Copies of this chain bind each other. A is one copy, B any other.
Amino acid sequence: MASIQDVAKLAGVSKSTVSLVINNSGYVSEATRQRVEEAIDALQYTPSRLAQGLSRSHSGLIAVIVPDCAHPYFSTLVRSIEQRLATHEYMTIVCSAKENEQTEQWYLQMLGRKIVDGVITAGHTIDLSSYETSARPIVSIDRYITEEIPMVQADHKEAALLAAKKLLEAGVRHVTHFAGTKGIAVQSDVFNETLTELLTAHGVTVQSVPIGHNTFHPEEYQAAARKLFSRQITTDAIVGVDLAVMACMQEANRQHISVPGQLKLLSYDGTSLTRLTTPVLTSVVQPIGKIGETAADLIVQRICGEKITMNRYLLPVTLQPGGTC
């Protein structure tokens, strides 16, 4: 097997120049870089992780913690983070923290061992107390941790405004709101609170129904929808996360309740899924791609020691008209 010495010799440069090229750090002229790369190719040299690690101060790895990487919102988020981090030459370790408590604990333990250069957390269910004392950069999505940790989120207040406007225009009087389970405070609670406030101010009754919304198991949402519909409550509109609203649409169809005639539906996050139903779901759309990219840029800036002046990034939402409200 070829060594770094062999490469240096063939390219006619020093070992440290080879190392610079491998680690893409420091100034190396284009001609030299090319010579080194040709030597690497010719000798089929593959630097070991250790050799690389020894010559750079970082692992090139960033962990992304989500509740469930198969959930449409989080899978889209992970994709955008991963693709953006790759442009910064970082790879993404994905950690689904909600599926299994043991796994979650193990992930926290692993991340505590400095395997990664930074952590982007969109995991709203896990205990982050250990993070606050951590020396590694963190960027949070949709959850306030401390003043020092940048937070990226959709503009949930604007989202509530858009949703309320749409519902009021549609003339709804009794809204049922499938809201996330209470527990850890997340920024999306602002959507829930603002929406309730706005609707109530216009004489609309709002009933909140808690629902777990961080895993991608349709059966859970379907069970919640069936339970809601069996309670014979007076409601002419349902608002909730995409999967909950999709399950409600399915249940309404099953019970021959016409949408939007008898029942309006409006969903919030507005993932791609909502555009594959009939009719397309009226949704307030989170800029998931932009959220992921912003978080990725921020974590790299933090790792590189750049000063981050803002600690809160509010990204604009949009209304997808659809045909359910």
Chain A interface (Cβ within 8 Å of chain B)? 22, 44, 46-50, 52-54, 59-61, 63, 68-70, 72, 75-76, 78-79, 82-83, 86-87, 89, 91-96, 99-100, 102-103, 106-107, 110, 112-115, 133, 135, 216-219, 221-222, 243, 246-247, 249-250, 253-254, 272-273, 275-278
Q: How far is B107's CA from A193's CA once the two chains are assembled, in angstroms?
A: 43
A96/B83 contact (C-beta < 8 A), A60-B115, A276-B250 known:
yes
Which of B60, B110, B249 is in CB contact (< 8 Å) with A278? Answer: B249
Q: How far is B74's CA from A70's CA once the two chains are assembled, in angstroms?
A: 8
B106 touches A89 (CB 8 A): yes
A82/B69 contact (C-beta < 8 A), A47-B113, A50-B54, A92-B94 known:
yes
A70/B75 contact (C-beta < 8 A), A112-B46, A278-B253 known:
yes
Which of B59, B79, B93, B249 is in CB contact (< 8 Å) with A99? Answer: B79
B114 touches A91 (CB 8 A): no
Could you show 22 A-B contacts with beta carbons less than 8 Å apart? A47-B113, A49-B114, A50-B54, A68-B79, A72-B72, A72-B75, A79-B96, A83-B99, A83-B100, A86-B103, A87-B102, A87-B103, A91-B107, A217-B272, A222-B276, A243-B276, A249-B278, A253-B278, A254-B278, A273-B273, A273-B276, A277-B277
Tell me the number of copies of this protein.
Answer: 2
Enumerate chain B residues within 8 angstroms of A96, measured Cβ to Cβ. 79, 82-83
Q: How far is B95's CA from A113's CA once the two chains are assembled, in angstroms?
A: 23
A95/B91 contact (C-beta < 8 A), A218-B276, A277-B250 known:
yes
A70 touches B78 (CB 8 A): yes
Given A47-B114, A278-B278, 5 new contacts (CB under 8 A): A52-B115, A70-B78, A75-B75, A93-B93, A222-B275
Q: How far is B46's CA from A134's CA once the two chains are assembled, in angstroms?
A: 10
Enumerate chain B residues within 8 angstroms of A93, measured Cβ to Cβ. 61, 91-94
Q: How far is B17's CA from A224's CA once the two chains are assembled, in angstroms?
A: 51
A59/B70 contact (C-beta < 8 A), A247-B276, A250-B277 known:
no
Looking at the assembled complex, report how far the CB atom of A104 sits from the nearest CB atom of chain B, in whole angstroms: 9
Looking at the assembled complex, report how far the CB atom of A253 sits from the nearest CB atom of chain B, in whole angstroms: 4
Q: How far is B147's CA from A306's CA once the two chains are assembled, in angstroms?
A: 49
Q: How far is B225's CA from A160's CA once the two chains are assembled, in angstroms?
A: 34
Q: With CB as the reference atom, state the residue of chain B lying closest to A71.
A: B75
Q: How far is B247's CA from A173's CA once the two chains are assembled, in angstroms?
A: 33
Looking at the assembled complex, report how far the CB atom of A40 sits from the nearest CB atom of chain B, in whole angstroms: 10
B60 touches A70 (CB 8 A): no
Q: How far is B79's CA from A243's CA once the two chains are assembled, in angstroms?
A: 18
Enumerate chain B residues within 8 angstroms of A60, measured Cβ to Cβ. 110, 115
Enumerate chain B residues within 8 angstroms of A44, measured Cβ to Cβ. 133
Enumerate chain B residues within 8 angstroms of A82, measured Cβ to Cβ. 69, 94-96
Q: How far is B106's CA from A83's CA once the two chains are assembled, in angstroms?
A: 11
Enumerate chain B residues within 8 angstroms of A70, measured Cβ to Cβ. 72, 75-76, 78-79
